[in-house]
Amino acid sequence: MRSFFFFFFWFLWIGGANVIPQTYFLAVAPEYKEQLVTLLLMLGSLASIAGIVWETKLGKYISLQAALYVGFPLVVISFGLLFSGLSVVLYFGFYLCFRFLSCALYQKLDAGICHHADIQVSDNHAKHSMIFMLVAVCLAPVFFAFYQHGVVVSGVVILLAFAAAFYYRNIASVIGAGTGVLGAGITATSANGAKANTKKLPLHLSDKYFLIYSGAYLAVVFLTSSLLVYFIRDFYGFKSPVKLGGLVMLVISLAAVVSCLLYGRFRKSPFRDSGCVWVQIIILAAMSVGVVLLYLKLVPSFMYVAASASLMGISYGVFVVFTRSLVVHRARDCGRTTLLAWYNMLPFISSIAIFAAAGGLKLIIASSAYSYYWGIAAVLGVVGVIALIALIAFNRNSEKY
């Protein structure tokens, strides 16, 4: 249950990346909502990257106790202030503060468990953190779509914060008083005496292709989900787009949880399967078919949208099993410690690139929302091709473990 702490972060991140900003700008600046959401998420991604880099470089000077008693309350406070009726400028400021602090703390704990804990603990962390992440993806969009005001949100966040703080102390006892990242040449020993190679090595060529593939895939996921509320309102003409968008995100997340559990059950070590590239091509195909069906609008009904979105969820669930397992394995056993930091930064790097493209597209295509979403479809197609090429190159250049 120590991975529950990571559920807390994902719960806030998912709400902060999807429903919360879209709802806020829909209320305070509806005429500039797409531009402001895109700008906020791009700056938030930069703040997240800065937090991870800062912890990797300077985190060794801050103890786990200081991070808990100072950093963690600041994360909760900065997030809670997003619901206090702030002006746009203050909203941006507290949002960026929340993203920086939460990502720095997340990286400290994630790297600590991977490098300091024994092999069994780090393996369990890799599996359980994925499950908690997907559960957060299920719950956060629906919760924040239906509850946008102070009392309920504050109560839930405070309860989750207390629970997370309890498990934080448990994590600290596992990691010990070490830094967020082990120094070069130090090894972590499992209960059965096996040693994990944590010597820092540069990225292998296959690691780079893996990061390109994963980044392109995540770009498709983020761009689709970040505009989902506006898409079903403008493209499908649905009423109550915030609530329906939250329900569609729930469908995607439930499908992801189911596929994650099933794939993890039948493939204990997916990154060692010789045919994993074909599994991942199927994953790209499922995501592509889901997006295409949404744009075709064969049946303008909510059930049709939900069914199309479920394909995207199935794809995403298997994707996170594959990528997280591979990263933990290479970081711990193969000395690719840099890969973990890059992997944690990857969602934010991808979001910056894709939101920059979306923002530029909005400036070019200003005639109608309908034309804009078809422009988005073209961007998604190009990114999908990049993901496929990188995946094939990753498979051809993978080392034999």
Instruction: Please check whether residue 184 is in contact with residue 123, taking contact to mean a CB–CB distance below 8 angstroms.
Output: no
Tokens 């953190």 belong to residue = 129
Q: Which two tokens stand for residue 191?
A: 């209960």
With cut-offs at 50, 70 and 90, classify the pLDDT of residue 146.
low
Residue 212 has pLDDT above 90, yes or no: yes
Question: Mean pLDDT, to the nearest integer, of 47-65?
Answer: 82
Distance from C-alpha of 299 to C-alpha of 15, rounded to nearest angstrom: 29
Tell me which of 3.90.320.10, 1.20.1250.20, 3.40.50.10490, 3.40.50.10860 is the CATH number of domain 4-397. 1.20.1250.20
Phi, then psi, of 59 in degrees rounded to 5? -65, -20
Count of Cβ atoms closer than 10 Å to residue 26 Cβ: 17
With cut-offs at 50, 70 and 90, classify the pLDDT of residue 289.
very high
With cut-offs at 50, 70 and 90, classify the pLDDT of residue 195.
very low
Phi, then psi, of 188 in degrees rounded to 5? -105, 135
Distance from C-alpha of 185 to C-alpha of 99, rounded to nearest angstrom: 32
Distance from C-alpha of 140 to C-alpha of 156, rounded to nearest angstrom: 11
Question: Mean pLDDT, to the nearest integer, of 42-61?
Answer: 85
Distance from C-alpha of 141 to C-alpha of 279, rounded to nearest angstrom: 28
Question: Mean pLDDT, to the nearest integer, of 240-257?
Answer: 82
In DSSP terms, which residues pair with 189 in a beta bridge? 195
Distance from C-alpha of 58 to C-alpha of 19, rounded to nearest angstrom: 33
pLDDT, tens only, 316-355: 888 887 888 788 777 776 666 678 888 888 888 887 887 7
Q: Which two tokens stand for residue 155?
A: 């109560």
Alpha carbon distances (Å) from 32 to 3, 131, 224, 383: 38, 36, 19, 26
94-103 burial, b at 16+ Cβ within 10 Å, e below that, comes to bbbbbbbbbb
Of 35-44, 105-114, 327-336, give the range with the top mean pLDDT. Answer: 35-44
Distance from C-alpha of 78 to C-alpha of 324, rounded to nearest angstrom: 29
Residue 28 has pLDDT above 90, yes or no: no
Distance from C-alpha of 304 to C-alpha of 306, rounded to nearest angstrom: 5
Instruction: Tell me, letter by letter, the H, E, C secondary structure of the chain.
Output: CCCHHHHHHHHHHHHHHCHHHHHHHHHHCHHHHHHHHHHHHHHHHHHHHHHHHHHHHHHHHCCHHHHHHHHHHHHHHHHHHHHCCCCHHHHHHHHHHHHHHHHHHHHHHHHHHHHHCCHHHHHHHHHHHHHHHHHHHHHHHHHHHHCCCHHHHHHHHHHHHHHHHHHHHHHHHHHCCCCCCCCCCCEEECCCCCEEECCCCCCCHHHHHHHHHHHHHHHHHHHHHHCHHHHHHHCCCCCCHHHHHHHHHHHHHHHHHHHHHHHHHHCCCHHHCCCHHHHHHHHHHHHHHHHHHHHHCCCCCHHHHHHHHHHHHHHHHHHHHHHHHHHHHHHHHCCCHHHHHHHHHHHHHHHHHHHHHHHHHHHHCCCCHHHHHHHHHHHHHHHHHHHHHHHHHHHHHCCCC
Residue 177 has pLDDT above 50, yes or no: no
Predicted pLDDT at 213: 92
Distance from C-alpha of 238 to C-alpha of 225, rounded to nearest angstrom: 16
Query: With the C-alpha atoms ordered 200, 205, 207, 211, is the resulting torsion angle positive or negative?
Result: positive
Average pLDDT, the chain: 75
pLDDT, tens only, 357-397: 777 777 777 666 667 778 888 888 888 899 989 988 888 87
What are 342-345's contacts with CB under 8 Å, separation 24+? 342/203, 342/211, 343/211, 343/214, 344/52, 344/103, 344/106, 344/107, 344/110, 345/48, 345/49, 345/52, 345/53
Distance from C-alpha of 79 to C-alpha of 267, rounded to nearest angstrom: 38
Q: Which two tokens stand for residue 383?
A: 């990114």
CA atoms within 13 A on the CB side of 389: 7
With cut-offs at 50, 70 and 90, classify the pLDDT of residue 165.
low
Question: Mean pLDDT, to the nearest integer, of 145-163?
Answer: 62
Instruction: Please check whether residue 195 is in contact with residue 187, taking contact to mean a CB–CB distance below 8 angstroms.
Output: yes
Predicted pLDDT at 187: 41
Distance from C-alpha of 91 to C-alpha of 261, rounded to nearest angstrom: 37
With cut-offs at 50, 70 and 90, classify the pLDDT of residue 155.
low
Residue 4 has pLDDT above 70, yes or no: no
